[in-house]
Structure 1
Amino acid sequence: MTCAAIIVAAGSGSRARRTSDTVAKQYLEIGGKAVLLRTLEQFLANDQVERIQVVIGPEDDTLYSAAIAPALSGPLATHAQAKLLPPVYGGDTRQISVLNGLEAIKMEDPHYVLIHDAARPFITDTILARCLASLKEHKACLVATPVTDTIKKVNAEGAILETIDRSTLWSAQTPQAFDYPFILQAHEKAFSQKLHNFTDDASVAEWVGEPVHIVEGSPSNRKLTSQEDLTMAETMINPTAPHPLTDIRVGTGYDVHAFDEGEAVIIGGIAIPHSHKLKGHSDADVGLHAITDAILGAIADGDIGTHFPPSDPQWKGAASDLFLKDAMRRVTERGGKLSNIDMTIICEAPKIGPHRPAMRASIAQICQISIDRVSVKATTSERLGFTGRKEGIAALATATVRLPEQDD
């Protein structure tokens, strides 16, 4: 057999874990597919790669099976069944994981081997062809790109010591391509001498004295190591997709209304029987007013008085859900989403507790969000101040809004 590929997928990838995820980066999805699957598809579709050995974490069997399932039933199913070998487990370091992969393909007896990071899904046929062409003349090849940034050497305090000449500097990528018998022997020698922490396979080749030759890669063949990299990858796959909602905004709102003669107060869109009503130009819903201001504050779009001035007679007696719906419209027009609402009602009376479930449901319905994203609390002011004297009701609200990340 001429060429095999080892895909190293045994790392934990903690830097790229999203807040709600507990899996390594190679099993996260970009564009609806696991990163690992996108990487494998490049090698499955390449006619020069005859066998593929994936090295996975000892606890990742289920994740691996789920990730590759589409390849076993989709357009590449025939290639997958012919090329994809059963996975093997990695070790405590990348070097040991690669050695396990190299030993697993001994029976395949390949002439060449390409060793590639699972978290580099944008490898191309052009780069693979360059690797195999270089291997006809060299035993060890490294895909890399020229360093284009100015490089500074600094001391422990962060002060610049010197500017490094970048004309001879290259940034290493994968695959790293080798004569198979050579790199297997080099890895076995390093392991036998208890050297387990080489960070890439080219370093192992250098350690045994073999010259490693550069094969030009591509800036797009980057390793996905952070959340920012995953975001970039989503954009590369689908340039027209909306920007991810990673701009987190928090706003606060505060409102007060005095009591007036009446039979009920309206709070959170719910009428609560009481000896008084709340006095205001609209329906005086102190809760919805505070929430509206919190949302407007989160998107830096004025306040309720800016958009619905009390001097305008058209808002006299208006239901306050109109104001809140308008604030939600402004969030939507910015491509954002409301994440949660936390509202506190401050009063001596009426009792808020019995009406909290109805308030939460009302606010959730107005904002078109799940009720578990709405919190309603109540407290007294220990008979201090105007609320303590039962002269009115105050409300404090906090809203979290997620907006698309924009370049400054």
Structure 2
Amino acid sequence: MQMDEKKPSVPKLRFPGFTDPWEQRKFGDLYRKNNERNKQGLGQESTLSISTMTYKEEGNGAANDSLRNYKVLRKGDIAFEGHKNKEFAFGRFVLNDAGTGVMSPRFTCLRPTGEQNQAFWKHYIHHEPTMRPILVRSTKLGTMMNELVVDDFLDQTILVPQISEQGQIGRFFSKIDSLITLHQRKLEHLREMKRGLLQKMFPKDGESAPELRFPGFTDPWEQRKLGDCGTTYSGLSGKSSSDFGHGFARYIPYTNVFENPVVDPERLELIEIDTKQQLVQTGDTLFTTSSETPEDVGMSSVWLSDQKDVYLNSFCFGYRQNGSFDALYLAYMLRSSLFRSKMKVLAQGISRFNISRKRVMETPVPLPQIAEQKAIGDFFSRLDSLITLHQRKLEHLQEMKKGLLQQMFV
């Protein structure tokens, strides 16, 4: 690729061999309004989702007769989605690359008037920096959704490259999309595998051994109440908003505990040192005390860092065990479906759900020999590292694509 910063009618980044300026074209020369109706009676299996342009698995519950008023979308057609969000404040277009299908008549659909490269237009018509000023001039603002004024839109202009350059750009972004999809599937596969193993590597209620064990371990597991293996302490207390955001100490925020089986030591917030508060120590387990749903109450995370002067937020409590547990084993056992189902039962509330520290400490948990604990903890820790690696690769690809879209479109 080569850089071209001289001409405003070309992108900053182009493939070699392309030097002609992009041509300014009216949308009315490129698209026309599509009012084709479903007279042939395509069924629910042909219903397209506006958000993803994929076929809906179960349709929308409408009878086939009522689908006859639906609009027919063919490959290359675009549909306008007026829902507003942070990324698309004025709505967005989505190109149909799935195949012939039907869509609710409330959506505005357009059909290309001539040859276009679909892969190029899929990204260009969806590129918010390019489309935003165009949509500002051709949409009516609504409370929940914007409405496209078709005549105003078709009168707008956009810079368009030759069909050969469209093809190069389209194929390039299609390859990036395939790579992103591959990493998304790998990531979801690893997450699904972890969810399954968290069910199989800890014993069900009433059983003394899990369904799946590492070779060499045959001893039955014990049951022990958490309260018999440690003590608890409170998070920060007596603080106001002015106490946060400055100081030489740190505290662990609620979201860090909620989201991670092992606390992320990079996600701490500033606070002043206060000798009256309880400090968090290496190996402590932290529990959330409230949530918006019973399924999410009592989430836990283990603090493995040796940082000093670290406190716990006021919406959590700490648990300091006596050495009965390997720290990593405890981190993942407390995230297993076995333990999470027990926390859900303990949740109390209506609009906001809370959990009693005392009841948590009365909860029995499985306790194998320390060697088996270490094997389980290390295994899930390595699995989490692999998940994080794939997550970072995926984020890198997504950021790279975002940057290239800015460089390769005008």
In which range does the TM-score fall when normalised by the shorter chain? under 0.3
For normalisation by structure 2, the TM-score amounts to 0.24
Q: Which of 1 and 2 has greater Rg?
A: 1
Q: Which has the higher strand share?
A: 1
